A and B are shown apart, each in its own frame.
Chain A
Amino acid sequence: MFTCKQVSHSLSKDDYAKLSLTKRFFLQLHVKLCIFCGQFNRQVMDSQDMCRHFKEYEDTQCSCAYKLKEAKKDDLKALLAAHSVNSAEDG
């Protein structure tokens, strides 16, 4: 069984999902039973879980919240075209 310090040390170094199955089991056992760290380490694990799901979401869905302006897109296209030509000539 881990101590509170070992649990928080593990969670501060690694996302709990990356830990070995055995370590994860004892970690979860600790956060379920521990009366000292109570909700703290459970909430750290929740937060890591949430971030992992957010990253999965942003990889598959394009956020509507932020989009490049059309003018910026045109600038970038022109820049890429110029640099592609330069790279081809250099090559």
Chain B
Amino acid sequence: MAQSSQPKVEIAQPNTWVDRYGNYLYAYAMSRLRNTEAASDCVQDTFLAGIKALERFDGSRDIKFWLRGIMHNKIVDQIRKSIKENKVDIDHEDEALLESFWFKYSGITTTNPDPWQFNPRKAYDHSEFWDVFNVCIDKVKEPARQAFVLRMLEDMETEEVCKVMDITPNYLWVLLHRARQQLKVALEEKWTGKDVK
């Protein structure tokens, strides 16, 4: 029996993409790149690549997420480019941590981190919390922020992130630890007390 080639969802025409998906894709790129010019370039490149590849779109999911899939590659390219310009160096403190007996023995970077000053899970229902979260990602310093974006927000495999950043898996784990620490400090500063309403 012949399979129907009809797409399962409506395919928005490219002339409507800017109004429909422009802000979404721009906000998505900004939360990962933190650079207005790079984020705008990403949106533009995504749309152009989308037009070229449109005939291969099978309509199995919302075109917004298909375009976001294209944008993922553009974001990774931007981060790769930025890392080529500023190679990731292991600082003295991180090197000592990597060499520490406890890290080698247990894979744990700190045995007793301070507990959260507020309950993060209770904040999830507040939409303002996610705007604060978005702003706080910016407080994480490079290269920890780039590691966090690729591994945690772009869901890339450890091996792929290490390849893009040219680092070892152990150092990636340390960078993610730094990112979590800095994000936690920033979130506590901006959010503590606000979820009690």
Q: A: which residues have CB within 8 A of B? A: 3-5, 7-9, 12-13, 15, 36-41, 43-44, 46-51, 53-55, 57-59, 61-68, 72-73, 76-77, 79-81, 83-84, 87, 91
Interface residues as binary, B152-181 with A (CB distance below 8 Å gives 1, 0 otherwise): 110101100000000001001100100010
Give Cα distance in the complex from A3 to B183, angstroms: 27
- Inter-chain contact A40/B113, CB cutoff 8 Å: yes
Given contacts A63-B31, A83-B51, contact A12 B107 (CB under 8 A): yes
Give Cα distance in the complex from A36 to B112, angstroms: 9
Q: Cβ of B108 < 8 Å from any Cβ of A?
A: yes
- Inter-chain contact B44/A63, CB cutoff 8 Å: no
Give Cα distance in the complex from A59 to B44, angstroms: 20
- Inter-chain contact A65/B131, CB cutoff 8 Å: yes
Given contacts A62-B24, A81-B15, contact A76 B43 (CB under 8 A): yes
Q: Which residues of A contact B18 (CB under 8 A)?
A: 68, 73, 76-77, 80
- Inter-chain contact B15/A9, CB cutoff 8 Å: no
Q: Which residues of A contact B110 (CB under 8 A)?
A: 40
Tell me if B's interface is mostly helix, strand, loop or mixed: helix
Interface residues as binary, B98-111 with A (CB distance below 8 Å gives 1, 0 otherwise): 00000001111111
- Inter-chain contact B116/A46, CB cutoff 8 Å: yes
- Inter-chain contact B113/A67, CB cutoff 8 Å: no
User: Which residue of A is nearest B187, CB measured?
Assistant: A50
Stretch at the interface among B3-11, B76-84, B87-95, B120-128: B120-128
- Inter-chain contact A80/B106, CB cutoff 8 Å: no
Q: Cβ of B66 < 8 Å from any Cβ of A?
A: no
Give Cα distance in the complex from A73 to B40, angstroms: 10
Q: Cβ of B23 < 8 Å from any Cβ of A?
A: yes
Given contacts A80-B15, A83-B48, A84-B14, contact A5 B107 (CB under 8 A): yes
Give Cα distance in the complex from A4 to B109, angstroms: 11
Q: Cβ of B135 < 8 Å from any Cβ of A?
A: yes
Q: Which residues of A contact B124 (CB under 8 A)?
A: 50, 53
- Inter-chain contact A5/B120, CB cutoff 8 Å: no
Q: Cβ of B130 < 8 Å from any Cβ of A?
A: yes
Interface residues as binary, B14-33 with A (CB distance below 8 Å gives 1, 0 otherwise): 11011100111011101100
Give Cα distance in the complex from A51 to B24, angstroms: 18
User: Which residue of A is nearest B124, CB measured?
Assistant: A53
User: Which residue of A is nearest B62, CB measured?
Assistant: A59
Q: How far is the CB of B119 from chain A (nearest CB, A)?
A: 10
User: Which residue of B is nearest A72, CB measured?
Assistant: B40
Given contacts A47-B152, A67-B23, contact A12 B158 (CB under 8 A): yes
